[in-house]
């Protein structure tokens, strides 16, 4: 039995405290009364660090169980990253970090690994071997994906990459679904059935420990109704034919069942969640057809779905975070060859901050939380920016500096522009409307463009009508300075719901890089497209100073057509404040002030000419939770509208200045 416990990096302390009381501590207390029942336990490094700081008595209880040999502690990536999404050096570094922590705190040498979300790619075999890992727990479906039949999954197999080997077990899916929900006697009967039907020598169980008290109603089931206590008593009573053992003990006394090579995969639900909505609908149709023919179980290993990295396509915001961590990792590897003296310790600190930004929870979404939770994404950016601040200090010894780099940051085949100073970091994306997709305030370690667009999810159709009526979708990625041209008399409700017409084609147009001026930090982009069926050109120049949190955007809108044109220019701006519920339409305005009370800053927006209207509304997503649907604030959208008449071959100019100051 392999039980996995984890909390995301920087999750709310009161949440972890509550789960510790309802789940983590009572679980240890119950199993300690059954010293003959063996477990493998995995705790992520982020959770162990929290225990050590806030609940050291939990650390003592874990150590006591390890010392008497009732539990075998297993390792993994320290901050629970998706190891296959990391450079191999970072993956090994994460594994080594947790192995070293367990050795130091508990005196236990790690042999096994918990693979976060069971996301497997074959190259990981070499990573695990190099990190001293002998085995890991996957799902039985991984083994079936390789062609094994049901009768063959009860054992362990050896796989390799470049002659570096690691052994893999497949956790039984039925046990994963039924524990602790199926009555104890039925669980024991199921185990007996496996023994009789397949002459199985071993059956593996691996799943999340939060099912033992933290999930809805499970504290009542597991502890108040004593499911766990009764289950352990039943195991003890069945000891004549059913024994528990640690994974290492089993491997020491039993040979592998054979060799195996595994396709890229996770557990089946994850494989399906990673698909696009359209692809998932098609998969569901096929599954239904096979179910009607009673062939779905026979064919399940051939209906794999997608791969975990599809989440980078499904959620571009996830891809952006991931590629930003890759850039930071590259900087660390490069500097490692150059640093000396006190910078060596600084580089180690930067690496630890980067590793915290690897925590997987905010990079994907299945049915609950994940990337939809702003505070989880904010934690990743906090540590990513923290790592980059340290690297900046190593690379730039001067107090004030400015650096402009042009490269394909998000690996989409188009160049982005990175503008970095001691105080700010901007990422400008010419290929998607010349907009800004990231603005880091380095002192506060916050990205004020940490935004998730409103996306259709497959489960939305199952919500009650009172929830569905408040669900809106974006057909674009929300960012800063999306150049729109609106019709007269557009309403706040139309903007909020997306039921308006953009009479221009600049929002998603490709802008060319006209010039970048390194000394002054000015970057000019140029886009050409259509507005009201007339040819138009927009030049926009971004200017950021070396010394303050200020961004200035100078627009030059030129009419390239042969006739006069009347326009409502509306540059859309989205900002991720901690929370903002304001909906308003203001008239004849040249200044607006936004406040973030939690992060402690204010954002002043000033216009060089009065806007006819300024619309402001919150952007909320609706996602599924374990109880009621979650309404999650994602951004505050500000849309100023400037009416203008431009003669043929003439231009109009507008400057927008954004200034961030502490409260």
Q: Is 579 noted as a catalytic residue in this protein?
A: no
Within 10 A of 86 (CB to CB), how many other CB atoms are there?
A: 23
Q: How far apart are CA 491 and CA 475, in angstroms?
A: 19
Q: Are 556 and 575 in contact (CB under 8 A)?
A: no
Q: How far is CA 511 from CA 412, 413, 416, 476, 515, in A?
A: 15, 14, 11, 16, 12
Q: How far apart are CA 195 and CA 190, in angstroms?
A: 9
**Structural element, H or E, at residue 75:** strand 71-76
Q: How far apart are CA 606 and CA 85, in angstroms?
A: 41
Three-class DSSP category at 139: strand
Tokens, residue 276: 């696009």
DSSP 550-607: EEEEEEEEEE-SSS-EEEEEEEEEEE--S-----EEEEEEEEEEEEETTTTEEEEEEE
Torsion of CA 391, 392, 393, 396, to 10 degrees: 130
Q: How far apart are CA 378 and CA 373, in angstroms?
A: 9
Q: Is 117 noted as a catalytic residue in this protein?
A: yes
Among residues 80, 117, 388, 438, the one annotated as catalytic is 117
Bridge pairing between strands 630-646 and 512-517: unpaired
Within 10 A of 461 (CB to CB), how many other CB atoms are there?
A: 9
**Which residues are CB-neighbours of 152 under 8 A, at least 6 positions away?**
143, 257
Tokens, residue 13: 């302390």
Torsion-angle region of residue 294: left (phi > 0), alpha (psi -120 to 50) or beta? left
Q: Are 133 and 167 in contact (CB under 8 A)?
A: no
Q: How far apart are CA 529 and CA 280, in angstroms?
A: 35
DSSP 463-509: S-HHHHTT----SS---EEEEEEBPTT--HHHHHHT-S-B-BS-TTP
Within 10 A of 553 (CB to CB), how many other CB atoms are there?
A: 20
Within 10 A of 75 (CB to CB), how many other CB atoms are there?
A: 31
Give the total residue count for the chain.
Answer: 663
Torsion of CA 625, 629, 633, 639, to 10 degrees: 140
Q: What angle do CA 656, 659, 663 make, to 5 degrees?
A: 145
- The DSSP code for 628 is S
Torsion-angle region of residue 110: left (phi > 0), alpha (psi -120 to 50) or beta? beta
Helices then strands, each counted (H, E), the chain: 21, 24
Q: How far apart are CA 356 and CA 79, in angstroms?
A: 6
**Which residues are CB-neighbours of 584 under 8 A, at least 6 positions away?**
492, 615, 616, 617
Q: How far apart are CA 223 and CA 290, in angstroms?
A: 40
DSSP 342-409: HHHHHHHHHHHHHHHTTBGGGG--SSSSGGG-HHHHHHHHHHHHHHHHHHHHHH--SSS-EEEEEE-T
Among residues 208, 487, 584, 628, the one annotated as catalytic is 208
What residues are labeled active site?
Answer: 117, 208
């Amino acid at each position: 039995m392999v039980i996995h416990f984890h909390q995301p990096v920087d999750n709310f302390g009161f949440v972890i405290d509550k789960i510790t009381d309802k789940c983590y501590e009572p679980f240890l207390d119950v199993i300690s009364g059954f010293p003959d029942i063996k477990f493998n336990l995995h705790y992520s490094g982020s959770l162990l660090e929290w225990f050590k700081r806030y609940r050291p008595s939990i650390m003592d209880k874990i150590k006591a169980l390890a010392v008497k040999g009732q539990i075998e502690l297993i390792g993994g990536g320290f901050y629970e990253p998706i190891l296959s999404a990391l450079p191999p050096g970072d993956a090994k570094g994460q594994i080594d970090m947790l192995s070293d922590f367990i050795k130091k705190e508990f005196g236990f040498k790690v042999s096994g690994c918990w693979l976060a979300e069971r996301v497997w790619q074959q190259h990981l075999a070499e990573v695990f071997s190099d990190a001293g890992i002998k085995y890991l727990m996957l799902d039985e479906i991984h083994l079936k994906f390789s062609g094994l039949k049901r009768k063959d999954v009860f054992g362990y197999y050896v796989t390799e990459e470049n002659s570096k080997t690691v052994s893999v077990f497949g956790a039984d899916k039925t046990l994963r679904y039924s524990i602790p929900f199926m009555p104890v006697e039925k669980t024991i009967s199921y185990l007996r059935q496996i023994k009789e039907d397949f002459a199985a020598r071993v059956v593996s169980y691996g799943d999340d420990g939060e099912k033992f008290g933290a999930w809805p109603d499970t504290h009542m089931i597991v502890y108040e109704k004593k499911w766990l206590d009764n289950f352990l008593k039943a195991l003890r009573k069945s000891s004549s034919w059913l024994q528990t053992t640690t994974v290492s003990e089993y491997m020491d006394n039993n040979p592998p069942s054979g060799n195996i090579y595994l396709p890229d995969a996770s557990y089946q639900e994850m494989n399906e969640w990673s698909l696009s909505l359209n692809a998932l609908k098609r998969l569901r149709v096929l599954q239904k057809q096979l179910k009607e023919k009673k062939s779905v179980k026979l064919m399940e290993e051939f209906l794999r779905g997608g791969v975990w990295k599809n989440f980078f396509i499904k959620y571009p915001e996830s891809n952006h975070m991931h590629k930003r961590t890759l850039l930071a990792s590259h900087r660390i590897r490069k500097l490692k060859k150059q640093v000396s003296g006190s910078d060596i310790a600084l580089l180690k600190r930067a690496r630890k901050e980067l590793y915290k930004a690897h925590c997987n929870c905010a990079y994907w979404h299945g049915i609950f939380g994940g990337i939809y939770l702003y505070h989880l994404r904010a934690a990743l950016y906090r540590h990513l920016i923290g790592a980059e601040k340290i690297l900046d200090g190593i690379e730039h010894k001067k107090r004030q500096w400015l650096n402009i780099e042009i490269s394909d940051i998000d690996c989409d085949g188009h160049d982005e522009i990175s503008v970095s100073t001691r105080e700010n970091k901007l990422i400008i994306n010419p290929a998607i409307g010349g907009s800004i997709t990231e603005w880091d305030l380095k002192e506060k370690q916050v990205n004020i463009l940490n935004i998730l667009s409103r996306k259709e999810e497959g489960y939305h159709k199952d919500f009650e009508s009172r929830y569905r009526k408040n669900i809106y979708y974006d057909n674009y990625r929300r960012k800063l300075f999306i150049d729109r041209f609106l019709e007269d008399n557009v309403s706040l409700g139309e903007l909020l719901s997306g039921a308006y017409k953009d009479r221009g084609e600049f929002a998603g147009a490709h802008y060319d890089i006209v010039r970048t001026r390194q000394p002054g930090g000015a970057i000019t982009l140029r886009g050409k497209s259509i507005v009201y069926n007339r040819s138009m050109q927009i030049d926009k120049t971004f200017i950021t100073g070396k010394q303050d949190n200020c961004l200035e955007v100078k627009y030059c809108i030129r009419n390239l057509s042969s006739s006069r044109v009347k326009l409502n220019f509306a540059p859309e701006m989205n900002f991720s404040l901690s929370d903002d519920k304001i909906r308003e339409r203001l008239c004849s305005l040249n200044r607006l002030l936004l406040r973030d009370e939690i992060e402690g800053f204010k954002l002043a927006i000033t216009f060089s000419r009065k806007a006819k209207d300024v619309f402001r509304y919150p952007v909320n997503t609706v996602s599924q939770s374990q109880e009621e649907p979650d309404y999650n604030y994602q951004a505050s959208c500000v849309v100023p509208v400037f009416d203008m008449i431009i003669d043929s071959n003439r231009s109009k100019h507008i400057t927008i200045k954004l200034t961030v100051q502490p409260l």
